[in-house]
Amino acid sequence: MAAIIQGIGTATALNSTNSLDTNKTLFANSRRSLSDRKGRFFMVRSDGCLSYGLNGHGGRAEKLITNAVAAKEDTAVAYTSSKPGHELLLFEALREGLEEEMDRDPTVCVMGEDVGHYGGSYKVTKGLAPKYGDLRVLDTPIAENSFTGMGIGAAMTGLRPVVEGMNMGFLLLAFNQISNNCGMLHYTSGGQFKIPIVIRGPGGVGRQLGAEHSQRLESYFQSIPGIQMVACSTPYNAKGLMKAAIRSDNPVILFEHVLLYNLKERIPDEEYVLNLEEAEMVRPGEHVTILTYSRMRYHVMQAAKTLVNKGYDPEVIDIRSLKPFDLYTIRNSVKKTHRVLIVEECMRTGGIGASLTAAITENFHDYLDAPIVCLSSQDVPTPYAGTLENWTVVQPPQIVTAVDQLCQ
């Protein structure tokens, strides 16, 4: 099998434009201390309650309002039909980006369960096997640890493999390969090996897929040194991030949400590649910075309609880069609004929100006029029952309530 992989193409050396080291981290100038500001505080607990009081002393808890937003759920922000380009669903945009890179670079290959003639569990690789052959689009056995390790070995020898996990939860079986090999080999080899691999697949809380198929593994993988992580949320950024991840000399994990695959958007006909370390300004505003990513982007934008009607002007940022954070964009926003709300689908304990909170507190503490608030999923296995499933994930009414309290 190793001989087959080595025969897919010849190695090419590409200059890396997306190094794991980033110089965007800026430290805030002293403004004034939080202790000199209003003593009122509140926090949203993992059980969905608001707890608030004065000067750090606990107060009473109040259930979040569950019907504060009546607006219909948003779809992806799209180009208008009058603009040039072509319309694609998100999974089609991923496929188009992958196909363009396979045309451009013969060392790009795909491997995973059912990625070949079946076209992948969500049809991201549909049609690629007949075009490129079974060696460049390789169907593998149901053995995540084996084919992930094989992909890492292929990357070491000069190929640029794209490894698909049929479901991101299954990649826990390959955690040893991703952590001890994928993230560390560049360092432990003294720079002799690059690991230009992309690991991608569907994840997140779906519609009654059960606990094992509703995993959010960004919290697991963020602690691995040497790994970059990005999360797509629109067809436009899905394609741009896919192309950038393939061209990067660093190992990149691309998180795709299972409920976003059928979002439609008009994207440019011209080739484009996005920056792996750059956040997206979704909605400029003045009153509060809302940091989010993936599916929660749409919950936030749904809540933003109600917030605008109530007189608030929220600034919404899709962080996209989960590791490293785009602290330059975040810093400029926090300096303007002085209030931060983080909305994530990840678990509260040890999640992306916790890391974001730490980064903002360490770097931009003096810009804050109120404590950072983080809305996260509850620390429970995702229930199968639809009603219970919704209660474990942040909903737009909770975002509205949190902004109400944060801006008082």
- Catalytic positions are 144, 213
The type of residue at 99 is: E
Among 401, 287, 61, 361, residue whose Cα is nearest residue 353:
361
Q: How far apart are CA 295 and CA 259, in angstroms?
A: 7
Cβ atoms within 10 Å, residue 190: 7
Residue 377: its H or E element: strand 373-377
CA distance 253 to 242: 10
- CB neighbourhood size of 21 (10 A): 6
- Rounded CA-CA distance 364/335 in Å is 8
Strands (E) located in 288-367: 288-292, 314-318, 321-323, 340-347
Residue 161, beta-bridge partner list: 109
Q: Long-range contact list for 131-135, CB < 8 A, 24+ apart? A: 131/99, 132/102, 135/4, 135/7, 135/8, 135/109
